[in-house]
């Protein structure tokens, strides 16, 4: 009968719509991985010429580090990718002085900025 056929057609349409919506939602979340970065350590290397910055990617997608700034001055811009749940160390050329504070700013390819303040050893 036409009534039963209409009900079946509506049920199939609703089922297909739900399946497509679920697939599109999963697809969206795959592309929207979070970018979470922690600066876990800043080491002032002997000779007062370099700072070693340790970065931990705690997010769900790879992160590309575009720039590292020290006290407002661009000091590194080579570009390095850190896989999800991985860490990397980047050696930054910067002359530092004992006992001073240094603000480290890390900029990713998505434009996110992460900050860390460290104090150079006093002697």
CATH of domain 37-119: 2.60.40.1890
pLDDT of res. 27? 56
Name which of 115, 104, 103, 98 is nearest 47 in CA terms: 98
pLDDT > 70? residue 83: yes
Find out whether 57 and 87 touch, Cβ atoms under 8 Å. Answer: yes
**Residue-wise pLDDT tens digits, 44-79:** 998 999 999 999 999 888 999 999 999 999 999 989
Instruction: Break the chain into its structural domains and give their ranges.
Output: 1-32, 37-119
pLDDT of res. 26? 63
d(CA 36, CA 1): 58
pLDDT of res. 86? 96
H/E segment holding residue 28: helix 2-31
**Residue-wise pLDDT tens digits, 5-33:** 889 999 999 989 888 877 777 655 555 56
In the chain, what is the straight-line distance between the N-terminal and C-terminal CA atoms, in Å? 92
**Residue-wise pLDDT tens digits, 84-111:** 999 999 999 999 999 999 999 999 999 9
pLDDT of res. 18? 81
């Amino acid at each position: 009968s036409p009534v039963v056929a209409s009900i079946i057609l509506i049920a199939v349409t609703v089922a297909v719509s739900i399946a497509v919506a679920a697939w599109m939602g999963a697809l969206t979340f795959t592309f929207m991985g979070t970018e979470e970065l922690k600066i876990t350590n800043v080491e002032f290397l002997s000779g007062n010429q370099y700072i070693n910055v340790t970065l931990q990617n705690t997010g769900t997608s790879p992160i590309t580090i575009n720039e590292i700034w020290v006290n407002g001055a661009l000091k590194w811009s080579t570009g390095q990718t850190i896989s999800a749940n991985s860490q990397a160390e980047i050696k930054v050329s910067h002359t530092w002085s004992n006992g001073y504070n240094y603000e480290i700013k890390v900029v990713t390819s998505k434009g996110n900025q992460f900050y860390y303040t460290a104090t150079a050893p006093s002697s």
